[in-house]
A and B are shown apart, each in its own frame.
Chain A
Amino acid sequence: MKLALRELVRKPGRFVTATVILTLIAVLLMFLGGLLDGLLRLSTGALRAQTADAIVYSDASQSSFLRSRIEPDDRAAIESADGVDEVGGLGVVLLGARVPGNGPRDLANVAVWGYELPKSGIPAPPAPGEAYADELLQADGVELGDELLVGPARTPITVTGWVSDTAYNGSGGLWTDLGTWREVLSQNRPDAVLADGVVQALVVSGPGDPADVVAAVDAANDGTYALTIDDAINEIPGVEEQSATFNQILGVTVVIALVVIALFFALLTVERTALYGVLKAIGARSRTIFGGLVVQATAVTLVASAVAAVLVVVLDLLIPPGSIPLFVSPSRIVLSVVLLLIAAVIGSAFSLRRVLRVDPASALGN
């Protein structure tokens, strides 16, 4: 191990190529992962902000807010169920909004939410005609106190506070009371008007864990079904597809890293056959020699990962907000590094057989 580290320090040139290639791969891995996280955040923020245990949709809705209808008697049945503490109405409509100071065609995409219960990071509903806006909308020039004109009917909504990470379907949220949301809906989507007391979905909290709350709700009412928040997030159209596609690309990237490491250390091992022969002759075990290879692969990967992490963080700072949905998080970077380290260990293991086969007798050859 000391031998392996000394070689790294004294002959860094020998490892530069591999380190550079791995750095590029690590950047790719962290960047694509950050992109996936960013995209997912834009689809799932509104649901992740829910502190409730479950969400209730109507049967034919396919877990889409826009297709779901909860009638007052459904709500009453669920509210009176055992295992349910608190029930709140929820609804959303996706529209374009005119922002003061922006051109008439330069609409900001907004998701106007009507809600009753405070969420994590979202206080209780503001006064009618007002909204808490998602910070995402700052990239569209929205400022505190602005009066946004929402939808073709130009329904006015005044921004009176900020919330963050509450996006839905790529649009920043405008969080209003149920009445304001219903007003916006009826003015701008005559096809989707909902009577007073009707909401798209319910958020439900109970004393038990989320699965118990789901069971309690489903037992209490027909014509609706409940999902835990986590399940509801996965049901958001596109979320699973996006994750699966990106994860396949990330998987291929990790495999490429593995192949690069395997090839590089296989070549290095061939180059060092004579040296390994001498080391074995003077008492080195194969285990020690192979351990040195793994240490070197790990060190190269750590250096590449560190450089890549810095590059990706800098990239994140350079990219103007709102242009690319890149979201760089420590957990994504750590996950990338862990995957690369696993690739490094498996990749260097391809040289194990060659190390074992090195014959100490080769040291004495003429």
Chain B
Amino acid sequence: MSTPALQMSDVRKIYSMGDNEVVALDHATLTVGTDEIVALVGPSGSGKTTLCSIAGGILSATEGSVVVGGEAISDYGDKELTTFRQNKVGFVFQSVNLVPFLNARENLLVVDELGRRQGKPARDRADRLLDELGLADRAKNLPSQLSGGQKQRVAIGRSLMNEPELVLFDEPTSSLDTELGQQVMELIRSEMKSRGTAAIVVTHDDRITEYCDRTVRITDGVLGDD
């Protein structure tokens, strides 16, 4: 078996605000296989976003080890984490966060501009992704000219631009209605499976978990399998 997309062992994350300490993740251990899609389900404030941030190299863990696609990132500084994010992970955020003055295609290409600067191969990949996501005729539209579902699909395309090992979806369907949410989940699943890319999908919604290979529950920062 090849290296897992994510190996988290005994990860703790403690937020300290003055004298107050919040344990957002407590001894979390989680392995996500190379092309596995894991649903992360838990109530609000249970640490889902924190886990995604740590797995994606946006936050550093207080304790424990994090290995993404064979790369141990636990001891990385800001610069190394930035390079890591450019190359290894993709994000789809809860609120749609496209660059408002760039059209759909440029929103995908911005990943290449800020990161690897490949040029032509990146442009080809953007066009292919837009096509797969059913956005070929929307490539020139600004975010303000797109519907909520279309914007979320652009965000999915953006998360795949750097050919990541792992994509982190933080409540990707929470701003969409049920039917649209299911369409987006279907799309996420097919995109991940066709590429063999692993994903963690954070959600409240049990119907969404059907599109995932496995469900992990989290309560007060503690992980537990279904």
Contact = CB atoms under 8 A, between A and B. Distances in A.
Is the pairing of A and B real? yes
A364 B102 contact: no
B91 A281 contact: yes
Contacts of A283: 82-83, 85-87, 111, 114-115, 162
Given A6-B101, A366-B44, A282 B158 contact: yes
A278 interface: yes
Contacts of B56: 281
A353 interface: no
A106 interface: no
B130 interface: no
A279 B93 CA distance: 12
Contact of B49 (A2, A7, A275, A364): A364
Contacts of B158: 282
Contacts of A363: 58, 91, 93, 97
A311 B101 CA distance: 32
Contacts of B113: 2-3
Nearest to A360: B58
Interface in A1-15: 2-3, 6-7, 10-11
A283 B78 CA distance: 11
Contacts of A285: 79, 82, 114
Given A6-B106, A364-B58, A284 B93 contact: no
B110 interface: yes
B53 A364 contact: yes
B36 interface: no
A288 B83 CA distance: 13
A60 to B, nearest CB: 70
A220 to B, nearest CB: 69
A275 B91 contact: no
Interface residues of B, number: 30
Nearest to B94: A366
Interface string A249-293: 000000000000000000000000011001111111100100000
A361 interface: yes
Contacts of B99: 3, 275, 278-279
Contact of B114 (A11, A282, A361, A365): A282
Most chain A beta-carbon neighbours within 10 Å: one of B82, B85, B86, B91: B82
Nearest to B101: A10
A35 B157 CA distance: 58
Identify which of A7, A280, A283, A285 gathers the most chain B CB atoms within 10 Å of its CB.
A283
B165 interface: no
A282 B111 contact: yes
Given A10-B101, A283-B114, A364 B91 contact: yes
Contacts of B162: 283
Interface in B52-103: 52-53, 56, 58-59, 79, 82-83, 85-87, 91, 93-94, 97, 99-102
Given A280-B82, A281-B85, A285-B82, A3 B110 contact: yes
A281 B57 CA distance: 9
B101 A7 contact: yes
Nearest to B99: A275
A352 to B, nearest CB: 15
A359 B115 CA distance: 18
Contacts of B102: 3, 6
Nearest to A365: B49
B109 to A, nearest CB: 9
B85 A364 contact: no
A363 B99 CA distance: 12
B73 to A, nearest CB: 14
Nearest to A275: B99
A50 B48 CA distance: 82
A2 B86 CA distance: 18
B86 A278 contact: no
Nearest to A356: B78
A15 to B, nearest CB: 12
25 contacts: A3-B110, A7-B101, A275-B97, A278-B93, A279-B110, A281-B56, A281-B58, A282-B85, A282-B86, A282-B111, A282-B114, A283-B85, A283-B87, A283-B114, A283-B162, A284-B114, A285-B82, A285-B114, A288-B114, A361-B53, A361-B59, A363-B93, A364-B170, A365-B49, A366-B94
List the 3 closest pairs (A to B, CB-CB), nearest first. A283-B86, A278-B97, A284-B114
Interface of B: 44, 49, 52-53, 56, 58-59, 79, 82-83, 85-87, 91, 93-94, 97, 99-102, 106, 110-111, 113-115, 158, 162, 170
Given A3-B110, A283-B85, 10 more contacts: A3-B114, A6-B101, A275-B100, A278-B99, A282-B86, A282-B158, A283-B111, A283-B162, A288-B114, A361-B58
